[in-house]
């Protein structure tokens, strides 16, 4: 067993994870879709990546993104079905287009889930219908609009995004080992 210095790991991990989280576009939305699938007894893994191999362009030169899914047969011991989804975003897409593309492709997944439920969970259809494109675009636009409203609302930001300033005050040391000793801004609600 090797000796690992937790302080060294922490100092490196804080920066690496923060950078990674800034690049994780639409992470809360993806988590919401994963939760929705889970409530419908489908375990969903989603990977979003820049299309460095130009698969999007080769598949459809005018597309900004593509979605590929894999259905994994259900384990008889588990109540969950499984789907893996991979969203490829054109490598030259900007930040805003990338976010819209992710939302667009997530709606394809939501539509596929509805078809799957409608087939009594017998057929996962990873083929997207051309007539769904308009609804996917509309979903992306409306959802990103809701993100804009949320991010523009200072009350929501203070409540759900920003951490209480007391956490970063000079001399404050965070100790999560006993919830009874937490400052008021972190107290457990009974």
The total number of structural domains in the chain stands at 1
Query: pLDDT tens across 26-85, in order?
Result: 999 999 999 999 999 999 999 999 887 787 778 777 889 999 999 998 889 999 999 999
Q: Calculate the average pLDDT of the chain.
A: 89
Over residues 114-132, mean pLDDT: 86
Rounded Cα gap, residues 102 and 50, in angstroms = 11
> Which pTM value belongs to this model?
0.84
6 domain-assigned: no
pLDDT at 130: 82
Over residues 119-131, mean pLDDT: 84
103 domain-assigned: yes
What is the side-by-side order of every strand in the sheet holding 65-72?
42-51, 81-90, 65-72
Residue 97 pLDDT exceeds 80: yes
56 domain-assigned: yes
DSSP track, 15-46: HHHHHHHHH-TTHHHHHHHHHHHHHTTEEEEE
pLDDT band at 1 (very low <50, low <70, confident <90, very high): low
186 domain-assigned: no
Over residues 8-34, mean pLDDT: 88
87 domain-assigned: yes
Which residues form the domain of 62?
16-166
CB 141, CB 87: distance < 8 Å: no
Share of the chain above pLDDT 90, in %: 45
pLDDT at 110: 96
Top-confidence residue, 135 or 181: 135
CB 43, CB 82: distance < 8 Å: yes
């Amino acid at each position: 067993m090797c000796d690992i210095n937790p302080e060294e790991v922490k100092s490196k991990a804080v920066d690496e994870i923060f950078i990674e989280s800034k690049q994780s576009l639409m992470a809360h939305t993806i988590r919401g879709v994963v939760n929705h699938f889970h409530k419908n007894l489908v375990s969903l893994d989603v990977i979003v990546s820049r299309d460095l191999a130009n698969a999007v362009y080769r598949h459809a030169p005018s597309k900004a993104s593509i979605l590929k899914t894999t259905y994994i047969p259900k384990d008889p011991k588990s109540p969950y079905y499984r789907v893996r989804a991979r969203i490829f975003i054109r490598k030259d897409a900007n930040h805003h287009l990338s976010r819209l593309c992710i939302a667009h492709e997530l709606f394809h997944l939501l539509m596929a889930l509805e078809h799957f439920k409608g087939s009594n969970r017998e057929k996962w259809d990873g083929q997207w219908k051309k007539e769904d494109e308009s609804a996917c675009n509309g979903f992306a636009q409306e959802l990103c609009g809701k993100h804009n409203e949320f991010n523009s609302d200072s009350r929501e930001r203070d409540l759900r995004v920003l951490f209480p300033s007391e956490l970063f005050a000079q001399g404050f040391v965070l100790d999560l080992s006993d919830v009874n000793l937490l400052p008021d801004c972190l107290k457990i609600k009974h």
